[in-house]
Amino acid sequence: MKFKKIFFILTLLWANDTLAFSVEHNFSVQIGIFDASRVKFTYRLNPQNYGIRSEISTNGFFDTLYPFKAQYDTSGTITKDKMTTRDYQYISHSRFKDRSKQVIFDDQGMPISQIVISNGKQKTRSFEPSPTPADTFDLQTIMMKIAYQYNKLGFCNSQMAVYDGKRRFDVEVIDLGNDVLPQTENSPYSGEANICSMHIKKVLSEDDDTLWEFASNKPIDFWIMRDKTTNRPFIAKVRIKETPLGELNAYVTDIKIEE
C-alpha cells in the first residue's frame, strides 16, 4: 500500500541549534477528498545530539480499508556541525503484518547490519557499501541536517546524498522565498512563512521502492513558520501536488514546544 510509506515523507521539520529544546507537531493529512492520516512528529535538539520520533496512523476511510500504524525513531550525535546517526528503529502494524527493523552502527556511525522481524520471523542482513559517497542512510537525519543549516544560515538550499543499504538517492532542497499562508479551517496557523521544495532523484539503481519512487520527480513543498512566543521554527503545511488520489496536503493542527 503506497500511502503507509508516503506518510513518512511528511515528517519533515526544523530546529534551532543554540539551546536544548523539543518540538512536537501534530499533522492532519488530506489526500484528494479523503481525510487520510494523522502524523505526530517530535524532535529534540541540543548542541551535542538529536532525536526524532515519527508516529503515523491511517484515518477514516483509509483506516477501514487498510489500517496501518508505524513509529520511526532516529537519534544521533553532533560534532563540529556534522550530524551522525547512531540509532535507527521502526515498528509497524497493519491488518496482516507486524514488522520491525533495527539498524546496527559501528563506532564511526556507519551502518553495518540490520535486523528485520516480520510476523515473528527474524532476518539479519549486512549493509552493502555505498557505490558512491553518501551523507547518511535515513531520511530523518537528512531532514535534521537541513534544519541545522536552516537555523544557522537562514535558508534551506541544500544538496545531500542518501544510501539506504540498497539504493542511492540525491536529495535537493530549494528555497523558494517568502509567502503568506492563508487562514483555513484545516489549521489554526496562518501568516508569514518561508517555502522550501524538496526533490529526490534516484542514482545508480533500477529496482522499485515505493517511498522513493513516489517522491522522485514530484516536488514536496513545505511552509516554515516561527512560533510567536519562542521564535522556534515549525512546518505549518506540506504539499505534494500529484498522487493517485489527487493533491496531498498535510496541515499542522497544533504544536508543543519545550525549552
Three-class SS state of 222? strand
Residue 23: the pLDDT is: 86
pTM: 0.83
Residue 26: the pLDDT is: 97
Residue 207 lies in a domain: yes
Residue 78 lies in a domain: no
Residue 201 lies in a domain: yes
> ∠ CA 91-109-129 to the nearest 5 degrees?
85
The x, y and z cell numbers of residue 111, run together, are 551502518
Closest CA to 20 of 107, 78, 84: 78
DSSP string, 33-77: TEEEEEEEEEEEE-SSEEEEEEEEEE-HHHHHHS-EEEEEEEEEE
93 alpha-carbon distance from chain centroid = 19
Three-class SS state of 97? coil
Residue 17: the pLDDT is: 43
Q: How many structural domains are present in the chain?
A: 1
Residue 148: the pLDDT is: 74
CA distance 202 to 249: 24
The x, y and z cell numbers of residue 69, run together, are 500504524
Q: Are 30 and 53 in contact (CB under 8 A)?
A: no
Residue 3: the pLDDT is: 52
Residue 67: the pLDDT is: 95
Residue 193 lies in a domain: yes
Q: Which domain holds residue 237?
A: 2-68+129-258
Residue 123 lies in a domain: no
Residue 116 lies in a domain: no
In the numeric block, the cell 522565498 is attached to 177
Residue 145 phi, psi dihedral angles, 5° rounding: -65, -40
pLDDT mean for each 10 residues of the chain (259 residues): 51 49 92 94 88 94 93 92 89 95 90 94 90 83 77 81 83 92 93 91 58 61 88 88 89 92
Residue 13: the pLDDT is: 41
In the numeric block, the cell 544510501 is attached to 163
Residue 190 lies in a domain: yes
CA distance 17 to 25: 18
Residue 109 lies in a domain: no
CA distance 219 to 42: 24
